[in-house]
């Protein structure tokens, strides 16, 4: 009989308080203890992005998570499902939107919020 995987969710209400760092550290610790781990981040508001060999983009924290938790190096096996949305924002309220590592274009604040 196949066991149901254990799921853990790390939550926080602010940006930049270390949710990704705690999550990656916990996943790495569990990975070293013999558990298979996978980190998922639904959306990242970040001006930086990590380019995959396939040409797509994922959040830098997810690139770090994939490498830090013992998965195949990210440049060899693109993991677009671990960070489906990356939003690059600028001071003029324009957003570059990437979903499932594909570039969707630049959107203004109203268009972005209604998406």
Sites in the chain below the pLDDT cut of 70: 45-46, 71-92, 100-101, 112, 115
pLDDT reported for residue 48:
75
What pLDDT shows up at residue 81? 53
Whether the pTM exceeds 0.85: the reply is no
Round the CA-based radius of gyration of the chain to a whole number and report it. Answer: 15
Task: Write down the pLDDT at residue 101.
Answer: 67
Query: What is the predicted pLDDT for the residue at 73?
Result: 47
Q: Which pLDDT score is estimated for 115?
A: 65
Supply the DSSP string of 43-59, one letter for each residue.
Answer: EEE-S--EE-TTS-EE-
Give pLDDT, residue 7.
84
């Amino acid at each position: 009989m196949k066991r149901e995987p254990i799921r853990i969710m790390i939550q926080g209400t602010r940006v930049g308080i270390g949710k990704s760092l705690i999550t990656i550290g916990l996943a790495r610790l569990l990975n070293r203890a013999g558990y298979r781990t996978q980190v998922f981040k639904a959306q990242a508001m970040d001006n930086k992005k990590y380019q995959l060999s396939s040409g797509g983009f994922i959040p830098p924290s997810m690139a770090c998570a994939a490498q830090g938790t013992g998965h195949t190096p990210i440049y060899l096996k693109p993991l677009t499902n671990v960070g489906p949305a990356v939003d690059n924002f600028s001071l003029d309220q324009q957003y570059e939107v990437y979903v499932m590592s594909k570039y969707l274009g630049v959107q203004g604040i109203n268009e972005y919020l209604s998406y």
